[in-house]
Amino acid sequence: MIDLHCHSTVSDGRLSPAEVVRLAHQNGCTLLALTDHDHTGGLAEARAEAAALGLRFVSGVEISVTWHGNTVHIVGLDFDEGNAALQNLLAAVRQGRLKRLEAIAAKLEKKGIVGAYEGALALAANPEMVSRTHVADFLIQQGHVRNKQQAFTKYLGDGKSCAVPHQWAELADCVAAINGAGGLAVVAHPMRYGFSATAKRRLFEEFKALGGAGIEVHSGSCSKNDSLNYALLAERYGLLASAGSDFHRPGDFSGGILGACPELPKGCRPVWEHFKAV
């Protein structure tokens, strides 16, 4: 039972790192990575809890990248989080979230929704990591939308009325930083970008040429058919296969069940077979 993609209060998840590990363990997980957005601050706590429970744990992070104008997420796995170059890259990526929040709040205010800046910050355990998820929570709290999905389709999703384009890390720098820290780089939830076949080919070829290791063949609540398709693409582009729930909070079914991803399709080469021995 494996899960190599989930979030805690260090980024936009609802549970503390230790709580994430405990719930994954309860769900039968035997190998876990915590992958907060652009931040490794939860890893020490999660690792200690996993050790106490006898659950195998590897380091993880989900890095925000801008690739040809699109936001793409790259998961780093099994790296040394003490690596200075990686930490410098993450610090640079985190910068600018507050400025972006200001711009999003200004756009919401033009729609008659006031207080999003303070409101989102009040809901973020880690202000440096304030995200669109926290803005969505504020919109739900204030009764402007019914749920997270509606917050994104109405206001916050890429290209929607209150979205603010943002420049994240370069793909090349991101992969180099993960590899430089001894880790493996994986394209997160490739089925969620809405890319054409051509864009996928470009992304996977470029990623592989830069030293990328794999792609998520299973993510969250993706369909079995998605998994089969991305298993074939992984094979075609010589990439390993990863699996992650993208869990953010209990009761949110857009993420999968924490700690318990379905088995990969036959023929996949699992990324975890390349993890350093513990």
Residues that bind ligand AMP (CB under 6 A): 12, 37, 64, 131-133, 148-149, 152, 157, 248
Burial category of 59 from C-beta neighbours within 10 Å (exposed 0-12, middle 13-18, buried 19 and up)? buried
With CB under 5 A as the rule, give the number of residues binding Mn ion.
5
Question: Nearer Cβ to Mn ion, position 47 or 248?
Answer: 248
| Residue 32 structure tokens | 């876990």
**Residue 12 binding Mn ion, by CB under 5 A:** yes
Residues between 37 and 66 that touch Mn ion (CB under 5 A):
62
Minimum distance, C-beta of residue 273 to ligand AMP, in the bound complex (Å)? 27
| Residue 255 structure tokens | 């993420």
Minimum distance, C-beta of residue 238 to ligand AMP, in the bound complex (Å)? 27
Q: Judged by CB under 5 A, which of 73, 94, 100, 148 binds Mn ion?
A: 73
Residues between 187 and 226 that touch Mn ion (CB under 5 A):
188
Question: Nearer Cβ to Mn ion, position 101 or 236?
Answer: 101
Minimum distance, C-beta of residue 153 to ligand AMP, in the bound complex (Å)? 7
C-alpha radius of gyration, the chain, whole number: 18
Question: Nearer Cβ to ligand AMP, position 148 or 218?
Answer: 148
Span between the terminal Cα atoms of the chain, in Å: 17
Question: Nearer Cβ to ligand AMP, position 188 or 268?
Answer: 188
List residues near Mn ion by CB under 5 A.
Answer: 12, 62, 73, 188, 246
